[in-house]
Structure 1
């Protein structure tokens, strides 16, 4: 009787130890129900949570806005808010800790210079795409392209009628961007080669969408837009005979382009990093980026530094 009881207890103990060992092995290898063991594919992860504010460039805004919606579908615990306001505003907000991401068409070093140079050093640059900018005119101006010098003369007020550049007899109406605009800085740096003036009678608008609407509806108007904002309502003008196309930008033959930056102050937290990684993923670079008129980083055959110097890859 005693032998049978001892044998029974031994069997029960052995079964219990085996079950515990199996349970421990399952947990250590990672089970599907364990959130910590779930993989994060293209920024998706059920363990991510928090809120993200991305502010700044209106040229980059369409991409960040569209991709953020996809990101939130994959990460229900994260809320992303995307705001415009211009590259300068975005850089100022992220540097001051008022935004998690500063969307910008310019390098931080172009915004924070001289006494503020140390502010740029605190920001981490994440280049997510390339934006190209074209001069655009009201279609009735009847002009297909302009030279660099003609653009300079128009934006400095030396040329005031379209007939002087081969177009219709129509007064030119300038639609410019504010000084804080990264689009303006890019256009001035790479299209004009100098700073443009806020001339009397010119229109100044901060939003790319509003610029497009004004140029389309105002007789004689000229402005400039990122390719992501182009449509049939405005006429994109050739620059020194070269069209503003993704292929020409990638090859380095069309010079009016800039990197699209998503700056963070220091290294980003997990949720912000996941969002930026998602923007840089093949899924987004090969679909949303190209569909919205940007150029994928990996497609560029040239690089550009903060001074504007271009180098072949």
Structure 2
């Protein structure tokens, strides 16, 4: 049986339904998280839950459960669904109330849902790298909030897919921000460069792990904005996300990045990131073939 969490209760997924006037459905009035599961264990769970609460607080939604209670619910969900490798999707909305742009009364209880999905580790793409396009970032100005309002992201991802690419790297003017569902890094002269965590990008959990790895292994890092021209002239380019880990980018807009192969810094970070996964979740069955 496939279970889901619906407002704190574990129910059959077919029973996990929301009202047509749920504000997430009508307004996108809510936030979400995606948590990776390896070997039946959740990777960086606490960091994801902390960001979930922060995003909710940023739009005035108070989580009706403590982080410890959420953690216990998710552990139970993974166990009951026998999830070995995949993701947990969870979201909270402002709840169900008659449609009105103004927030409903405080008595309206937020709607919390979560479910699991089997997702394999993308080892082939991690080994060989992926192709990307570039496009103008048309999203709102609070991308640090993991909002349900993802139309700009979807349009970017769809354009990439239509051109046979994995991701769309977005930019505001000549300043690169992030991918449609990822953070973006370049490597120049041995230094890893990525956009600072502010309101224009999502503060990625995987990004933070990568920055910690760099610090621990004396890999130089600059958190700053970089231009489209710097992106095109980079020695290496890679992206990061919960499901993509450290993903090499080998082509930008039909032009190879250097020799069109994942670079040495990217490879080193992939190996060190795998070590971090195995520290928390145990040995991985599928390895990246370098």
TM-score of the two chains, using structure 2 as the length reference: 0.30
Higher helix share: 1
Kindly name which structure, 1 or 2, has the bigger radius of gyration based on alpha carbons: 1
TM-score when normalising by structure 1: 0.28
Q: Higher strand proportion, which one? A: 2
